[in-house]
Amino acid sequence: MFSDPVVGSDFFGRQDILDLLIKRADSLKSGYRQNVAIIGHQQLGKTSILRQFLHTYRDPAILAIYVEIKLQALDYFVDQFIRSLLYQYLSERETLDPTESLASLCQKASPQIPKTVARIDEIATLLKNRRAEEAYTRLFELTSIIKQETGKSCIVILDEFHRLGEFGVKNAFSNFGKRIMVQKDTMYLLSSSAFSASRKILAEKLALLFGNFERIYLKAFDFPTSFEFLQKKLPPLSMSDSLKSFVVALTDGHPFFLETIASRVKELSLAKTELEVSPRTVAEALQKVLYESQGPLNQYFLKLISPWTGPKSHGSHLLILAALAKGKNKPKDIAMAVNRSQRETLRDLQELMANELLVKTGIFYRFHNKLFKFWLKEVYDKKDLSLLGTSAKAEDFLASMEKHIAEHEEISRMENGDRIVALFKSFQSEMVEFGEKKRQLPHFTEFLSLIPSGSVVPPGESYRNFLAKGHGRCWVCQITDQKASEREILELVNAPAKEKSAPTKVLVALRGLDENAKLLAKEKRVLTLGLSRINMLMDLYNQPPIIQR
């Protein structure tokens, strides 16, 4: 565990998710049960959301049972599940020690819920007699029994639920699913950091007729929330918008990384009695957390690559990661960079994807974790993969960070329209994926401005119009920095086109679209590119992201 879950006043953001969980919990009392699954990569704050929900949601008609599945041991899971259930029930009536033993909790609960305790005794006997499958099935029946005895509905919260399959129980998920189907008075709230594995489990093993899960795919903070996070964490210090933008871009809004860097920045600035955080201090903070051997982010990333650093590791996984960090993100280019066949390279890429380090987008492979990519290039490649005697020095790292900060400030001054045109110029007819859809990005050779010479763009509506052509393909594009409405869609659709073939109409809406604009864009077959899609493309073509406050 590299960071502890946060609750209470330390909890930040995610209010929309908390509101949804509270809404689902309230609906359970009314007889409507909707199970929920929260899925996201490591350290994005799933456990903090679950703990905050437990911290804030109090209802005498609901028992919330929380179990974090840590060990590959069924008896430990059973113990934690039952103790959590009994603790939640008894704590409404008396003060309890959270470490109280199962035997003690059963003794206290027996006079009040004898049927439930009797079932608990049966489960213990089944485990003792090594009848694991039956004990596992009976365990999930406890919530129905306590409902009969007390009238209380249960919310079962399983943190890292994908580990249910590690107990050695046959048909662990299908048996679990059968319980979910018949328990209309029990709501299940699941979470998992195994992004690919958990999605597969939900789609194949828990796709139930009456128990389907509402899925929440947890992402990093968006850019405005990231700025608000820094604004909350840094006082009494101030930090320029440019430096905040650099930290947000570097971390991509990842809450664990933001917290770790902001804490070290504040510590160093206060020690230097700075009133405003300096670029040098940010560089020094990054050295402390990313570069130094015991730095928390350095240790975190070393743990991510640990499966391929041991004496029994095989393949070229680390070389592939280093090549990807340097911008080689197509199989052919990666294979050439690591001097391996494409077949070997694809096999190792699949393994890296299975370990949640990479994602595939069309023909591209990329990191879902941008700071990991940065660390591989700026730290690991220079310290661990360099020739003997040429390893990087701390002062070199500091100088490199200060250079990155200056470059970010310079790029941030560029017009968004110019940066997007530069992005489109990078397309070479590659195939990418936008959600479930694949699209080929044309190789454009000609760009023409569609804004009449001498015209003035209205204040607050900073958008550009241009036409991109090449190899028989044509995009008519409009860029807006404001939230797009139906007006922008209609302007784009009605724009005169002198091309022989029907051009693709493209709206780049950097602050998204309102609901009416989304519907109209779908009806008129307008390709819409929001900030997340644009920045995904920026990443694929090794260009820095556009940051919007």
What values do phi and psi take at 98, rounded to 5?
-60, -20
Q: Rounded CA gap, 146 and 114, in Å?
A: 10
CATH tag, 8-217: 3.40.50.300
- Decide: 108 and 100 in contact? Cβ < 8 Å: no
CATH of range 298-412; options 1.10.10.10, 3.30.420.40, 1.20.1250.20, 3.40.390.10:
1.10.10.10
pLDDT-based confidence at residue 211 (cuts at 50, 70, 90): low
Q: What is the per-residue pLDDT for 78?
A: 92
Q: What is the per-residue pLDDT for 210?
A: 63
Q: What is the per-residue pLDDT for 98?
A: 82
Per-residue model confidence as pLDDT tens digits over 153-188: 999 999 999 999 888 888 888 888 888 888 888 999
**What b/e readout covers 329-365, taking b as 16+ CB neighbours within 10 angstroms?**
bebeebbebbebeeeebeebbebbeeebbbbebbebb
Closest CA to 358 of 336, 379, 342, 373: 373
Q: What is the per-residue pLDDT for 452?
A: 60
Q: What is the per-residue pLDDT for 386?
A: 66
pLDDT-based confidence at residue 389 (cuts at 50, 70, 90): very low
Tokens 């200060």, residue located: 402
Question: Does the pLDDT at position 267 exceed 50?
Answer: yes
Tokens 């005498």, residue located: 60
Written as one letter, the residue type at 486 is E
- Decide: 429 and 441 in contact? Cβ < 8 Å: yes
Question: Does the pLDDT at position 543 exceed 70?
Answer: yes
- Decide: 38 and 75 in contact? Cβ < 8 Å: no
Range scoring the smallest mean pLDDT among 68-82, 423-437, 489-503: 489-503
For residue 256, with 0-12 CB atoms within 10 Å meaning exposed, 13-18 middle and 19 or more buried, which class applies? buried
Query: What's the fold here for domain 416-540?
Result: Trna Endonuclease; Chain: A, domain 1 (3.40.1350)
Domain borders along the chain are 8-217, 223-294, 298-412, 416-540
Q: Rounded CA gap, 87 and 99, in Å?
A: 10
Could you count the other beta carbons within 10 Å of the beta carbon of residue 228?
A: 15
Q: What is the per-residue pLDDT for 462?
A: 43
Closest CA to 291 of 376, 405, 369: 376
Q: What is the per-residue pLDDT for 461?
A: 42
Mean pLDDT within 305-327 = 88
Q: What is the per-residue pLDDT for 84?
A: 93
Tokens 């971390």, residue located: 251
- Written as one string, the DSSP assignment of 341-366 is -HHHHHHHHHHHHHTTSEEEETTEEE
Cα torsion at 235, 241, 246, 252 (round to 10°)? 80
- Give 3-state DSSP helix, strand, coil % of the chain, rounded to 5: 50, 15, 35
- Rounded to the nearest integer, the mean pLDDT of the chain is 89
For residue 60, with 0-12 CB atoms within 10 Å meaning exposed, 13-18 middle and 19 or more buried, which class applies? exposed
Per-residue model confidence as pLDDT tens digits over 454-492: 555 554 444 588 889 988 899 999 999 889 999 999 988
Beta-bridged to residue 447, according to DSSP, are 468
Could you count the other beta carbons within 10 Å of the beta carbon of residue 103?
A: 9
pTM of structure: 0.88
- pLDDT above 90 as % of the chain: 64
Q: Rounded CA gap, 285 and 402, in Å?
A: 11
Residue with the larger pLDDT of the pair 498 and 26: 26
Per-residue model confidence as pLDDT tens digits over 397-410: 999 999 999 999 99
Could you count the other beta carbons within 10 Å of the beta carbon of residue 247?
A: 26
Range scoring the smallest mean pLDDT among 32-46, 152-166, 194-208, 280-294: 194-208
Q: Rounded CA gap, 119 and 121, in Å?
A: 5
- Decide: 515 and 508 in contact? Cβ < 8 Å: no
Mean pLDDT within 440-467 = 72
Highest mean pLDDT among 174-183, 387-396, 477-486, 500-509: 477-486
- Hey, what are 297's tokens? 């982010």
Question: Does the pLDDT at position 41 exceed 70?
Answer: yes
Q: Rounded CA gap, 450 and 505, in Å?
A: 13
Query: What's the fold here for domain 223-294?
Result: Helicase, Ruva Protein; domain 3 (1.10.8)
Question: Does the pLDDT at position 90 exceed 70?
Answer: yes
Query: Cα 210–215–220 angle (5° rounding)?
Result: 170
Q: What is the per-residue pLDDT for 460?
A: 40
